[in-house]
Amino acid sequence: MSDQKTDKMLQDGVSRRSVLGIGSAALAAAAFAGLSAHAQTREGAQKAEGDHSSSNPGQENKPLLAENPNSNTPPPTDFGDVGPIWYSYDLTKRRVQEGGWTHQVTQRELPSSTDLAGVNMRLTAGSFRELHWHTADEWAIMLYGNARVTLLNPDGTIFIDDVSKGDLWYFPAGFPHSIQGLGPDGCEFLLVFDQGMFSEDGTFLLSEFVAHTPPEVLAKNFGLPESALANFPTGPLYIFPADLPKSLEEDRAAVGGEKVRSSIQYTFKMEGMAPTKRTTGGEIRIVDSHNFPVSKNVAVAINTIKPGGMRELHWHPNASEWQFWMAGKGRMTVFMPVGSARTADFNANDVGFVPFNAGHYVENTGDTDLVFLELFKASEVLDVSLNQWIRRLPPEMVHSHLKLDKNAIQTIPAEKLEIVPR
Ligand code: MN
Ligand code: MN
């Protein structure tokens, strides 16, 4: 029987049983037993074809299967199609140049993600990501090491700062900037752009601007003889090695000191930031335009979840969610109308996606801390907590819907905890 036909039968069966008022546990078991295409064994479920239906006598990519148990053998609550919600930087082509490397996960790799695209980049000590600008806003988090960043404001003031692991920066579209790896071992960082189809190959490079301008025009513009421009690059530099810069103070002084210094702060030192919310299950830090004013079009929630802990059931009323998984492992289920759900597993270096308004949780399934980012193309992080919604309603209303005992309702957390206590 085709999957589609099975799904149709299941859907019909579910609606009939719902009308008959059968409890949700019995309903799940019945739905489960009816799912021959995804048959699994479970206590209380009718065995029917049982284990044999999920047997797989043909070819298998065993390393991928081992990483994705919830895709290969979905929980019986999964149903229908919510679209792609997973990709990994470790599936992409890495562009390696002398001085570092880069690779990207954009809408091309993860078609559901129309709002945001991500680039993961490494620069060795002294090496530059060439002076450039682009059409998208750039949000970034340092993943390793140290870097120096510069940005010129249209009013002629210049921002120069050093960043370390955990720090953020935000560069508005069109504002020219640079990134340089510092000692002892350069840096690695994640860039997130507020355009799904953004490409790291589509940026405006200083080297290409001068390479594609007639030399006599360059000479007239700079007020220099053409001979002085003889060593200009003739092609893109993009990433290239260089000597380590002077100290931050020396560089700031060399460009003109306080009188040309940007009054706008483009970096955010997250190292010293207290959690926005902390429970026994973990902690969450929210950085958006409320505490990092330049971050107008990208907002982030940084989650650290302890083994067994869980980001509570919630959704975001203002944007889709683009995730970057920094450490540990976990699983997420995404719920969409009509009755669709998809569960997937995630590991460090993976990208996750949650459609606009789709309900979801994230559970740490490993034995180390799970660290992941929730990113939104929005000026602020907004979420709706299922627990809080239930607790703000008259208990009778909740009981009518869920048949939940009134005493049990009172034990559900009434305040938004973000991460469920263990
Ligand atoms: Mn950039
Ligand atoms: Mn979320």
Q: With bands split at pLDDT 50, 70 and 90, how would you rate the model's confidence at 157?
A: very high
Q: What region does 266 belong to: left with phi over 0, alpha with psi -120 to 50, or beta?
A: alpha
Q: Which CATH architecture has domain 92-203+238-268?
A: Sandwich (2.60)
- For residue range 193-214, list pLDDT tens digits in order: 999 999 999 999 999 999 999 9
Best CA proximity match to 141, nearest among 264, 227, 236, 270:
270
Best CA proximity match to 72, nearest among 83, 87, 61:
61
Q: Which CATH architecture has domain 273-420?
A: Sandwich (2.60)
| pLDDT surpasses 50 at 10 | no
Shortest-distance ligand to the CA of residue 176: 1
Q: Residue 157 has which token pair?
A: 């003031």
Cα distance between residue 362 and residue 348, in whole Å: 14
| pLDDT surpasses 70 at 222 | yes
| pLDDT surpasses 70 at 35 | no
CA of 380 to the centre of ligand 2 (A): 13
CA of 173 to the centre of ligand 2 (A): 26
C-beta of residue 110 within 8 angstroms of C-beta of residue 87 = yes
Alpha helices in 41-155 (DSSP H): 62-67, 69-72
Which residues have CB less than 5 Å away from ligand 2 (the ion)? 321, 374
Considering the entire predicted model, what is its pTM? 0.88
- For residue range 169-201, list pLDDT tens digits in order: 999 999 999 999 999 999 999 999 999 999 999
C-beta of residue 284 within 8 angstroms of C-beta of residue 302 = yes
| pLDDT surpasses 90 at 387 | yes
State the DSSP H helix or E strand holding residue 232, giving kind and residue range, or none if neither.
none
DSSP 264: S
CA of 241 to the centre of ligand 2 (A): 39
Shortest-distance ligand to the CA of residue 386: 2
| Residue 406: count of CB within 10 angstroms of its CB | 10
CA of 73 to the centre of ligand 1 (A): 41
CA of 202 to the centre of ligand 1 (A): 10
Give 209's contacts (C-beta < 8 A, 6+ positions apart): none
Domain boundaries, the chain: 3-54, 92-203+238-268, 273-420
| pLDDT surpasses 70 at 12 | no
| Residue 216: count of CB within 10 angstroms of its CB | 10
Please compute the mean of the pLDDT values over residues 64-68 and round it to a whole number.
94
CA of 13 to the centre of ligand 1 (A): 53
* pLDDT computed for residue 271 by the predictor: 76
CA of 339 to the centre of ligand 2 (A): 19
| pLDDT surpasses 90 at 2 | no
- For residue range 345-358, list pLDDT tens digits in order: 999 999 999 999 99
Percentage of the chain lying above the pLDDT 70 cut: 88
Cα distance between residue 283 and residue 185, in whole Å: 29
CA of 222 to the centre of ligand 1 (A): 25
Shortest-distance ligand to the CA of residue 333: 2
Shortest-distance ligand to the CA of residue 375: 2
Shortest-distance ligand to the CA of residue 138: 1
Give 230's contacts (C-beta < 8 A, 6+ positions apart): none
* pLDDT computed for residue 99 by the predictor: 98
CA of 321 to the centre of ligand 2 (A): 6
* pLDDT computed for residue 33 by the predictor: 40
- For residue range 267-304, list pLDDT tens digits in order: 999 878 999 999 999 999 999 999 999 999 999 999 99
130, 200, 283, 374: which is the annotated catalytic residue?
374
Q: With bands split at pLDDT 50, 70 and 90, how would you rate the model's confidence at 53?
A: confident
* pLDDT computed for residue 58 by the predictor: 95
* pLDDT computed for residue 19 by the predictor: 34
Question: Catalytic: 312?
Answer: no
Q: Average pLDDT, whole number, for the chain? A: 91
